[in-house]
Amino acid sequence: MNYIDAFDAPVRNTGQIKLYGPEAFEGMRKVGRLAGAALDMLVPFIKPGVTTDDIDRAVYEFGLDNGALPATLGYRGYRHSCCTSINHVVCHGIPSDRTLREGDIVNVDVTYILDGWHGDTNRMYYVGDVPRKAARLCEVTYESMMRGIAAVKPGASLGDIGAAIQEYAESERCSVVREFCGHGVGLVFHDMPNILHYGRRGEGAKLKQGMIFTIEPMINLGKPGVKILADGWTAVTRDRSLSAQFEHSIGVTADGCEIFTKSPAGLDLPPYA
Ligand code: MF3
Ligand code: CO
Ligand code: CO
């Protein structure tokens, strides 16, 4: 190892997309497990009557209790420890005094920083009993994410991930949001490459062992269009149809990928009870 390699360790930047070694995978494993555990912690907590501020506080305290900092605190002026996106909110819902009501579906998106590594993950929750169409959307969205993850291996292309997600979601008569994508993650929160949740097989950059990124499809029951509310953050469906999202941070291995943010308790998809 020469001087430059030692200086850049544990990250090698070949062109645009960084390649990470075993120390990075260990760091991502640790922070990913913690972020997954935070989403597990919320399972019994999320019920009718709880506010999204309550969720935000629980995420903040769980992080600090475990030596981690929420990456969203102060990120581009954002002042909260997570995003809470209810019903037709696509992503980046801001925690507030809004009370969760029976029948809502809510996404909580947590990113922690531990030893410099960022673990970014989100999951859907049912508030009490939810309408069948809302549950179906969550199931389709989870399966879309998992099909995207299943496409990840060295030699595959970014387009293979997007195509796997889009083909499944659209076969279930749902639509894929285009305005937001997954991203490289690691020592920085949002890095190259963009991970589109739609696309064509064989197109885009080729995946290599050591790449680390998120897959986080946002899937709508209605049309794919979104708009941003006046707060500058909250993204909602233009047609006010329900939207769902799941997110994992993953690393490309020799023969596939490792999911860093898996639920330690096996609470992957609601209903969790
Ligand atoms: N966690 C989100 C993601 O998956 C980013 C949230 S940025 C915030 O990339 F500022 F809105 F919190
Ligand atoms: Co993300
Ligand atoms: Co996220």
pLDDT at 6 over 60: no
CA of 217 to the centre of ligand 2 (A): 10
Q: What proportion of the chain, given as a percentage, has pLDDT over 90? A: 94
Mean pLDDT of the chain: 96
pLDDT digits (tens, 9 = 90+) for 128-159: 999 999 999 999 999 999 999 999 999 999 99
Which protein residue's CA is at the shortest distance from atom 4 of ligand 1? 120
pLDDT reading at 3 higher than 50: no
- Among 10-14, 93-97, 139-143, 211-215, which stretch is predicted with the lowest mean pLDDT? 10-14
pLDDT of residue 2: 40
DSSP annotation of 248 reads E
Alpha-carbon distances, residue 183 vs 94, 118, 241, 248, 265 (angstroms):
21, 12, 25, 11, 26
pLDDT, tens only, 22-69: 999 999 999 999 999 999 999 999 999 999 999 999 999 999 999 999
- Pairing relation of β-strands 117-126 and 89-91? unpaired
**Helix, strand, or coil here: 176?**
strand
- At 10 the pLDDT is 59
- pTM here? 0.95
Confidence band for 16, pLDDT divided at 50, 70 and 90? confident
Instruction: Find the 2 Cα to ligand 2 centroid distance in Å.
Output: 34
pLDDT of residue 4: 41
What's the helix, strand, coil split of the chain in %, to 5?
30, 30, 45
**Residue 108: which residues within 8 A CB-CB, separation 6 or more?**
39, 42, 46, 55, 59, 82, 83, 84, 122, 123, 125
pLDDT of 13 > 80? The answer is no
Distance 3 CA to ligand 1 centre (A): 35
Tokens of 44: 């019994």
Pocket of ligand 1 (CB under 6 A): 72, 75-76, 78, 83, 92, 109, 111, 120, 216, 233, 247
Q: What is the CA radius of gyration of the chain?
A: 18
163-198: pLDDT as tens digits:
999 999 999 999 999 999 999 999 999 999 999 999
Whether pLDDT at 7 is above 60: no
Average pLDDT rounded to a whole number, residues 119-126: 99
Strand partners, 191: 184
